[in-house]
Structure 1
Amino acid sequence: MYKVFLVDDEPFIVEGLYSILDWSDYQLEIIGSAENGKEALTLLQEHPADILITDITMPEMTGLELIREARALFPDLKIIILSGYNEFNYVKEGMQYGIENYLLKPINVEELKQTLKSTVDKIESTQAQTIGHQDMDILRSNILNRWLIGQIEQEELLERGQLLNLGVSLPYYETAVIKPMIPPNPQHEDMILYRNEKLEQVYQRVRSMTEHDEAAPGICFVDWDSDIVVVFGCSSKDDQDMLEEAFGQLIAQLRIIYPFELLVSMGELQSGLDGAAESYRDAKRVQQFFLISPHHLILTNKRLEELRNQPGSSIHVPDWGEYSRLLLSLQQEELLRRIEEDLDQLSGTEGITPHQVQNRVVEMIIWFKQAIKEANLPDPEEAEGYKSIFAGVFSSLTMDELKQQVMLAAQNVMSYLKEQQSLSPVVKQVLTQIHEHYGDELSLKLLGQEYNINPVYLGQLFHRETGKTLSDYVNSYRIEKAKDLLKRSNLKVQEVARMTGYLDNSYFFRQFKKYVGVSPAEFKGLV
């Protein structure tokens, strides 16, 4: 979607332009408006547009003065003039600034539509000629991520794939996921920057090696979890063994080059473009089993089955469903008793090795984490002390020490759950009100009246218990709902703004950019 900014000192003209046509039909979105050139210039510097539609005669700064200033700031800005004056001098001066058209009021709708269509065509032609490698990489990454999470139609994928030369027309696909375990470097103050730089180095090498591998060429990118993904396409199922062998050799080379571990998992070979997404989900699911599998392997479903069938794999398995029930119902005493019984039975298994015991214990902790995730709560690794549990498991020398680690994990997660459920009744009511009526007006004053509580005290209580101010929480929740509507509907941006409680489109634009990092139109283009 391309961005349009309107300028006219007559409000009914601006209102009419909003409703005179469906702007999304022309890949356009109105991002703001102003009543004079001075105000428009200020807003354009905050929120650049692709197309400026402006009147000529306005107070404080005329349309021609605005065009001259805006053109200096944004050389590629496309400009359409609206005017009630059919005077050659205005037309002549406007033409000097490279306007797209000079439209007379009252507006001829068909002429406006044709002007917009030709202007969009000109923008797209210019972009196709000037788009840089970085922009192409961003576009490429977004397309590939959407492909593998199932958020792109096949027609669009094939069209974009042809534009980007991705080669997404083969009958079979197999997806690999590489997670570089980059350790912290005490010589670098910014650990995040250091890790990102290392990740980029590994990614560029993997991409270069896979794209130039004649035996197994692949499409390589970084997913939204910062894992390196390689999608291999092949013409026949018979090519699978050759493909996996070539990929194995590539990984062996990488492990020689880099001193840190690379956790590598592969999904099953699947048919069709949708199959690539299924293979990706498979690889990501398998990836979590590195907690109980040797890190030097390329982990697949088949390899997991082989590991499970090794001696000792028939040892006692806890009742995971009962664990989830006890955990989510906060029955801590009963859960700890059940864990102790299961661990005693585990340790009594004939012929079991310490490594196998550790693996089963880790599975217990993984299950705690999975149960919380399925309850739609934040990742339980955020609970204090949870991250250190796994290290404690593998450093334990006795069964009592292992028991202590599992009990600690269960208690941490249980405490985490209790914290989630410890909100005061009035804050719970406010949260329910926000979640069910986010499109209505919401303020401390109104909510204080609704629940018969002092607004200042309500604001303090809400902040103390949720960690956010009411306005911040409301805005972040509304923007999440707006993102969902933009992804799952064909509603115009203005309609989404109104549905999520924003009557001022400019304010909606600013809040969306604040929380998401891109404008609503840019976000809609990405999804």
Structure 2
Amino acid sequence: MFNILVVDDEPLICKGLSNLLASSGLDIDHIYTANSGFEALDCIRMEEVDLLVTDIQMGAMSGIELMQHAKLAKPWVQTIVISAHETFQYAQMAVRLGAKDYLIKPLNSEQFLDSVRNVLLKMDRPSPELATFMAGLGESFKLEEPLPEYSKVLNALLADPAAVLNDEAGMAKLDELMLEGPYFSVIKIKLPLPDESMGGKNYSSRDRGLLRYGALNIAKELLDQEWSSTAFYSPDEEITIIIQWDEKSYEEAGTGQVGRLDALGRSLHFNVHKFLHLNAVIGISQILKGLSFMEVLNRQASKAILWNKEHSDHYVFYYGDFNWNNYAADPSAEELHTRSNLIVQKAKEYIDENYAQKGLTIHEVAKKNHVSPNYLSYLFKKNTGHNLWEYVIKLRMEDSREMILNTDLRRYEIAERVGYESPEHFSKIFKKYYGISPSELKK
């Protein structure tokens, strides 16, 4: 069963869409509603949401900004955008962020439910190619090397860029692939396929090929939505992805590109685990300009994967998180532990000072520590036992409880002081946290 979040700054629209979904006969477990982007983001952080249905123009945080933050929090959440304006720019931005549909108000009930139904159906099923061998047709499924004429030159590019860039035939292949950049990043997917048992027997060569093919299929399906990329097989049974940006698209996203790569990595891990039941390890390089740096990017992605040996319960690693320049050699376990503690300590200090700031995000806290939100969240939970956002809410709730019991401040004033943009949003969080409303506590 699926959980759906409906977001609109008009409460009547939220109520109408919720009622429509509740009576639709779709396989829905919970329907959540929110009247602002901030309220919706808290819901996404705290609840298991599968589908986000959001208006595009809402007060302080637009639907586009909500999608961006939701991608960072839980990149596998799917989105349908609704808007009162048939604006190409909005539609283009929504599609670029992976929106599954863009519907214009006033909504046609049948069209809306069809859109939701289509998204939910696709969400619960792998691609047709992957479904073919998952359905037990593996023996008759014909495995083909993806881009066989290109895989060799792409792997050569990762190993020795100069040799390929100085070779006319190699350059012709790169031109056919439209590998122009000029900005590039490399992502590697490592599947846990050693000589371990599967159904009481070791992985056969064909088993390994099928699982690898399945992972490549999942990667391509995710990448085709919003990335200019090429995915192919690499040595050591890895899958390599080359992401590229032209000058315009790179500048448009600015520093947010690393966050998007991190979200893509988590989405890759999530979907490989969902459909193949494997904990794939994902290594993500930095972003560099020029094909001549492909060997560097390839080495970075491989090195990032190696950190799974230190963090065996974590699966997505960004090379830039580890501050390699601070160490003459790879850091020891003790050095790694010391740095991890320092990152968490600084994040905790920043949150303690800024938890009441409106619009505070995990991305902002991570940026102050020069690490990705994903890695910071992992370290914070590992070191403190709390999810990072749960810690923010804990501070806000404890502070607000003190004010309710010991001051005459009104609800809207308390909400303002602890970082909530509306008293209604504050009350929802307070009741979820303490089990009673602020007014009930006051009495």
TM-score, normalization by structure 2: 0.29
Higher relative contact order (CA 8 A, sep 6+): 2
TM-score, normalization by structure 1: 0.25
Between structure 1 and structure 2, the one with the greater Rg is: 1
